[in-house]
Structure 1
C-alpha cells in the first residue's frame, strides 16, 4: 500500500478532527443536505472538544460545491488540524460507518481499509504498430514519458485518459523487433514508476505473448494479459477497466497472501535467532517505537485494534502506560486507538501497511508486524 497520501497527516502533531462522510447527490436539495450534514458534523466535533477554527474549516469543506455525476453516492474523508483541512480525499464508495472524531491521532485506519492495497499497475496498450504505456496508481492515470520515436512531441500527463504515451515501431521492422523494444520500455517504466504489476491489453494473442516472453523473469511473474481494448481512444473502455480492476484485485490478494505467510513464518521462528514477527499490543508498541516494523498488518475487525494506548505529540511517543510517555518528555499524554497510533508511528518509520480482510489470514487480535532484521542478523 502506497502511503504518500497520508504523509501530510502523519507528519503533524494533533489534535485532529477526522470525518468520514456519506454524501448523496441524487436529489434536488443537494445544497440543503450538504448544509445539514456540515452542521451536524461540526456540532458533533465541537461537542467532542474541537476548536471553533477547525470546526469552521470542516464546515466550509463539507458545504463547498463538488463535481459529481447526478445520482452518485460517494464517500469523503477529511482530516483537519488547527483550523485547516489538511487532507480531503474521496473514498471508493460510501464509508462503512460514517462518523466524526476528535483526538490526538488521526483516524486513518478506516481510510486504509477502504482503499485497500491499491497496487500500482503499468498498463501497456498494444497493436501491431507499437504500444502506449500508462501508469495507473494513486494519482489516477499518468503518462510514463517518451521512448522509441524521438520525432514525436513530448507526452502530456493525462489523469483521466489511457492514451498519450506512444512507442511507435519503425516501418519495416518485424513485430519481434518491436516487441523487444516494447519489453525494454516496459522494464524501464516499471522500475522508474514503482509499479507492482504489468497489464498487457489489446493486440493479437501472439503479440501479447511475444512481449510477455521478452520481459525479464521478475516482470513476467507480475504480468497479466487482457484481450480487450487497443490503442484507439476509448477502445472497449468499460471492458478494459473491468479487466484491470480484476487484475488489481488478484494482485492485492496475492500480495496479502505473501505477507501473511511471511508473518506466520516469522512468528513461528524460534531457537537462538531473533523473532521476525511481533504480535500483541506491548510487543508491537515496542517495535514501532524502535522503528523495527517493516510491515504492519491490520485487520479491520480485530479485537485489539480499538484498544487504548498512550501517545504524545511526537510519532515515537507511544507506550502502553501513560507514565512511559511522560518519561519520553510528553507532559500531557493522551489515549488513542492502538491501530491508528501504530499506523502513525509505523508509517513515520518507513513501514508498509497491509490490510488483511480475511479473518483466517489475519493476525490474532487483528494487529501484527513483520520486523526488520537486527544488525548482524542473518537472512532467512
Structure 2
C-alpha cells in the first residue's frame, strides 16, 4: 500500500492532535448526534489533559461529527497541526474504540490500517425484470462504480447510471463496456464484480473488452444499495473479506522469496529500524497490534528513529522524543516513500510483528 495520501500531513509541523471517533448514523442509534457529542466530550477532556491548545480543541470541536451526509456505520479521523486543520478522513468502519492523542507526531497507523486492503475494483449492477428477449418492452438500467475497497464505503467512487431500451441492449452493451473500461483503466482495477439479471448481465459480460472480461466475478442476490454507500457493498464485503490487494500480495511473495534465500529482507524491530534509518526499505510488513508496548526514539527527520535515545544522540541528533513504535514507523515509511503491507498474523507471523523487504541486499552481510 502506497502512503502518499499522508505526505501533506507530515509536511506540516507539530504538535499534532489526532482523533478517531465513531460517527455512525445507522438506524440502531436513536439519537446519533447526541451520542457523538458525548463521545467527543470524553476525548476533549483527554486531549486537554495531554496539553492540547485551545485552537486545536476549537478546530476539532467544529469538525468531529460533521459528516452528516455519510449514512450507516463509519467513523472519522481528524488531525490538527499547530492548532490548524491538517487532515480529515472518513473511516469505512468505526474505530475499535474512540481515541485522542496530542503529541509530537500524528497517530496515523489506525487510519492506514482502515485503508487496507486497498483493492481497486469495478462494481456493476444490471437491473432488468422483463422477458429475456430483445423484442420485449421496457429497459435495462446499468449502475456502475469504480472504487477502492473499503474506502468506497464512505467515499463514493466514479459512478455510471444509464437506462437503455431492451431492443437496443445488445448494441449498447458494447458501448457501455468500452465506457466501463475507461473507468477501470484510471484506477487499474483488479476485479470486476457484476450482479443483476442473468440474461441482461450475460449480454454485457460477453461484450466487455477482453481485458475486463478476464477479471469478471458474477454475484447473486445483490439487493438494493443504500444511498450514499458503495454499490453492491454487502456482496463486496463478503467477496473481499480476508483478501489482500494484488500489489500487496506481490510484495509479500517477494519478501517470502528473499527470506527463503536469506537475501534482501530483515525481520524484527531492530533490523527493520536499522534499514529505515538508511533508506533501504521498499516495503514494511506489519502484524497489526494496536496495543503493542514497543516504543522508539525519534528526531526531527523521518529517518531519525532508534531503539534508544543514546543511539540518536550518537548521530549528533539533539532534539529527541520517545513515541509509540507504530507512530514512528508510519512517519518513517511516508518520509522514505516505502510501502506498508498489513499482514494477518494467521497468514504470516513476523518476529515482533514487523519485517521489511529491502530495496537492495547488503553485500557485506547478505541481507
TM-score normalised by length of structure 2: 0.74
In structure 2, the partner of 1:224 is 217
In structure 2, the partner of 1:44 is 46
Distance of 1:131 and 1:73 partners within structure 2: 27
Do residues 245 (structure 1) and 260 (structure 2) align?
no
Do residues 333 (structure 1) and 317 (structure 2) align?
no
In structure 1, the partner of 2:203 is 207
Among residues 310, 313, 316, which one is paired with 2:300 in the alignment?
313
Name the SS for the 2:160 alignment partner.
coil
In structure 2, the partner of 1:95 is 95
Do residues 267 (structure 1) and 267 (structure 2) align?
no
Cα deviation for residue 250 of structure 1 reads 6.0
Unaligned runs of 5+ in 2: 128-133, 135-139
Is this contact kept in 2: 1:208–1:225, CA < 8 A?
Answer: no
Structure 1, 201-210 or 74-83: larger mean CA deviation: 201-210
In structure 2, the partner of 1:135 is 146
1:247-300, Cα deviation, whole Å (9 max, x unpaired): 333643776655444322222223xxxx23221122212222333322221212
Cα deviation for residue 309 of structure 1 reads 1.2
Distance of 1:87 and 1:181 partners within structure 2: 39
Structure 1, 337-346 or 177-186: larger mean CA deviation: 177-186
1:318-364, Cα deviation, whole Å (9 max, x unpaired): 22332443466643211112222112211233332222233342322
For 1:91-240, list aligned pairs within 5 A.
Answer: 91-125=91-125, 133-137=144-148, 138=151, 140-143=155-158, 162-164=159-161, 175=170, 185-202=179-196, 204=199, 206-207=202-203, 209-211=205-207, 214-216=209-211, 222-227=215-220, 236-237=224-225, 240=232
Closer/same/farther in 2, CA of residues 100 and 264 from structure 1, 3 Å limit:
same
Distance of 1:226 and 1:323 partners within structure 2: 57
Is this contact kept in 1: 2:4–2:334, CA < 8 A?
Answer: no
Unaligned runs of 5+ in 1: 144-161, 230-234
In structure 2, the partner of 1:294 is 282
Closer/same/farther in 2, CA of residues 29 and 111 from structure 1, 3 Å limit:
closer
Is this contact kept in 2: 1:13–1:313, CA < 8 A?
Answer: no
Name the SS for the 1:359 alignment partner.
coil
Structure 1, 134-143 or 20-29: larger mean CA deviation: 20-29
1:51-96, Cα deviation, whole Å (9 max, x unpaired): 332233223333x6551689x6643222222002322333233321
Name the SS for the 2:189 alignment partner.
coil
Distance of 2:337 and 2:18 partners within structure 1: 23
Cα deviation for residue 221 of structure 1 reads 5.8
Name the SS for the 1:358 alignment partner.
coil
Is this contact kept in 2: 1:201–1:208, CA < 8 A?
Answer: no
Is this contact kept in 2: 1:309–1:321, CA < 8 A?
Answer: yes
In structure 2, the partner of 1:15 is 15
Aligned alpha-carbon RMSD (Å): 3.9
Name the SS for the 2:234 alignment partner.
helix
Name the SS for the 1:141 alignment partner.
coil
Cα deviation for residue 16 of structure 1 reads 1.8
In structure 2, the partner of 1:155 is none
Cα deviation for residue 13 of structure 1 reads 3.5
TM-score normalised by length of structure 1: 0.72
Closer/same/farther in 2, CA of residues 349 and 78 from structure 1, 3 Å limit:
same
Distance of 2:185 and 2:74 partners within structure 1: 34
Count of residues in Structure 1 that have an aligned counterpart in Structure 2: 339
Closer/same/farther in 2, CA of residues 330 and 297 from structure 1, 3 Å limit:
same
Distance of 1:126 and 1:73 partners within structure 2: 26
